[in-house]
Structures are given as C-alpha cells and as structure tokens.
Amino acid sequence: MLESRQDRNKLRNVVFNAEDRKVISKEEAGFIVSLVERFRGDVEKKVKQYNVLAGEIAQLKINEQIIIDLVQNMIAAAERDVARQETMRKLKEAREVQEERREELKDDTPEQP
C-alpha cells in the first residue's frame, strides 16, 4: 500500500510522463490512475476486514481461556468442598468420641452421697 504522499504522487507522475511522451493516451492515463485508486481502496477495505477478523480471533481465544479458567475453578471448588466435608466429618467424629468419653467417665465415676 502506498502510504506517503510521495508514493501516492509517484504513480501519477509516471502515468503523466508516459502520457506526455505519447506512450499512453490521456484517457488511458486517467483509467490507470482510477484503476490503481480502486485497488488502493480495495486494499484498505481488506486491511480493515483483516483487523476485524484479527480482533474476532483474539476474542475467541480469550473466550476459550475464560472457559478453561472457569472449568479449572469449578474443579478447585469441588476439591475444596470435598476437603471441607472431610474436615466436617472428622470434627463430628472427634466430637462423638469426646462425648462417648464423657459418658464413660460419668458412668465410671462413683456417685457421691
């Protein structure tokens, strides 16, 4: 893509020099310039489309990573829940054992008159 003013004017200079030297007619020169301008417009459209597609691709990759992170977080949460339940079960068992010991101690302790 011809970006600078100098590059844009280069085509016109070449075409008009060819016209001045009678290599091409004035109509051919105009046609060539308009054709190249159309190509430049098409290139700009394609670059814009490319940028849009690149953005969409980047967003899809981000979405993919979000889903992966979500599933990993769900797994971690499930593992934490299992660990929490196991801890609660152990605490409950420990309380039951303590309660049984208290009951045994009560039963073994002679009653005082």
* Counted domains in the chain: 1
Task: Tell whether 54 is covered by a domain.
Answer: yes
Q: pTM score, two decimals? A: 0.59
Q: Is the pLDDT of residue 104 over 80?
A: yes
Is 18 part of any domain?
Answer: yes
User: Which of 2-6, 15-19, 50-54, 86-90 is the least confident region?
Assistant: 2-6
In a domain, 69, yes or no: yes
CA 82, 88, 94, 96 torsion: positive or negative?
negative
Element spanning 100, H or E = helix 26-108
pLDDT tens digits along 41-96: 899 999 999 999 999 999 999 999 999 999 999 999 999 999 999 999 999 999 99
The larger pLDDT score, comparing residue 15 to residue 4, is at 15
- 112 inside domain: no
CA dihedral 52, 58, 64, 65 (to 10 degrees): -150
Torsion, CA 30, CA 34, CA 39, CA 45, rounded to 10: 170
Q: Give the structural domain span for 52.
A: 5-106
* Phi then psi dihedrals of residue 110, to 5 deg: -70, 145
91 domain-assigned: yes
Residue 113 lies in a domain: no
